[in-house]
Structure 1
Amino acid sequence: MPDSENATTPAPFSIDDSPIARELADLTSRRKALDGVELTFDGETRVVTISNQKGGVGKTTTTVNMAAALASLGARVLVIDLDPQGNASTALGVPHSADIPSIYDVLIDEFPLKDIIQTSPESPRLFCAPSTIHLAGAEIELVSQVAREHRLRTALEEYLRASDEHLDFVFIDCPPSLGLLTINAFTAATELMIPIQCEYYALEGLSQLLGSIRMIQKHLNPALHLSTILLTMYDGRTRLAQQVADEVRAHFPREVLRTVIPRSVRVSEAPSFGQTVIAYDGQSVGAVSYREAAVEMVRRSLTATNEENN
């Protein structure tokens, strides 16, 4: 038997040393850091299309939560819902039944954009141009329209020029396809944000999407550029998620945000209550992550602008 005097007595277990406690402490410090954030906006309206032809990557979730996060930080944000499913409209708590004036009326019947915009109940700084079921037929109807690729851009430029209220951001939520609705979104925007799921097929189709962007740049909108890639549905417990994140960062070191969006039950639950996760549970890890991503997106743009000026 070992000498009792030389035996090592194990340190008593402390709940403070558990992984859950460490995660909670980290989340608490992140919340406090966000509470002290003060953002300034440069005065220009940033028009950002959120797109990925692969479905299920968190595209609409990213659109509405980034918009809500920016609104909570003081920005005035408009979300244009170009997806016929209308999920962005639902998440922002905006009515979008068939009889509601919608983005369909803007694209097909040339309604002024100001006539369809609604204020989200989440924030007086958060607005939505809703989608309705009529948008499902817009792809076919747009084929015969004059300047069919520029319909959204024309409407948005007229709105921004005539509006008395300045917008800091316009986010355009696209359907998971490369049809005329998505082309309208690409033509109307100056920036492209791509949410990429941290799964095996994350880069599947990305080269095709970037090829389409180059065609848009060449023929329709030279100002469009890939500004932001956001890694979504990240599961830190798996090696695969880290491998995917490393691969994306290796290919796009300047575009990928440091912030990643973890898998979160709260993020998934929020739309069923007609809310973003920012309103549904603003202290949850998903809400904190989206707010951090919004802060990083703004600060990166300001840093890039300062570097260009110097």
Structure 2
Amino acid sequence: MREKRNKNKLNDVIVRLKRIRNFYSESSTQSIKEFLEYKRDTNARFTYDWPELFFLRMDLNELALFLLKIEDINARRLVIMREELTGFSKNSLFTDFRINNNQLTKFTDIENRHYNGITESTPLHESFGGRRIIQVPNYPGEFLAFIALISRLPLQWLLSSFPEEVWSIEHFGFLNDVSLFYGKSEWVKFLKGLCHDSHDVRAVILIDKLTNCKLYLRVEILMGTVVIELCNINVSSKEYKLFMKLFHGESYIYGYMPTVIPSQINHTVIIRHPHSMRPICYPIEFIIKPPSLY
């Protein structure tokens, strides 16, 4: 019985992936609302799981085609905010980052029932711990930048129906998360300060005082695994050397993280948090660089 259930589930995912591919094909005339209709439950809510999105992350070129086909910006946001794409459930966004359900509903409202503004937290919302992402009421900059960070998408993909297909790091400027002077001791201190048994994503800017070079790092920690992604546009040899120097003498795994922009493939290092005993868990997008034979 177990094998049969697994087989049926896999077949269902394959059917859903085919549905996505048919949707973004050039010959398709299906609207996004028609496409999303089968995702609603009997109460017209989007409560069903979307496991096909998790599989779609294995080919980000395909994911890009799908997202760009969705020209309705709220509908695109609805897809982007699925846990299968961001890795965060609504509950974790609420408890860990103080992003409440009202804010998410306005952000992804495909029925256009709400205004587009991002409102201030409620008193209940404020009673939780976690990091506060939105610092200024009714100002969506931090909110949008954080969504761009966790979804690994250029900021314009959250704002424009027809975004430019270019990589961007502009969301780092909105977040004002972590800014450090370049140095091994400062970097190690930052890593040790991360909670090793949590799921969090930080936008880190490292500034080298000697060269004035800046490294834009997306640092994701997932239950002991730390994924450090160099997000600079068209990485120079100087930036690459500074990045790799951070891990000199340490045990790490080096590879790449593709993005929805084919020309932007980010150098990535994965380590285990100094205080964690858990095994390392790779992101589904991660490509390990094999060791050189020479």
Q: Per residue, is there more helix in 1 or in 2?
A: 1
TM category (shorter chain) comes to under 0.3
> What is the TM-score normalised by the length of structure 2?
0.26
**TM-score, normalised via structure 1 length:** 0.25
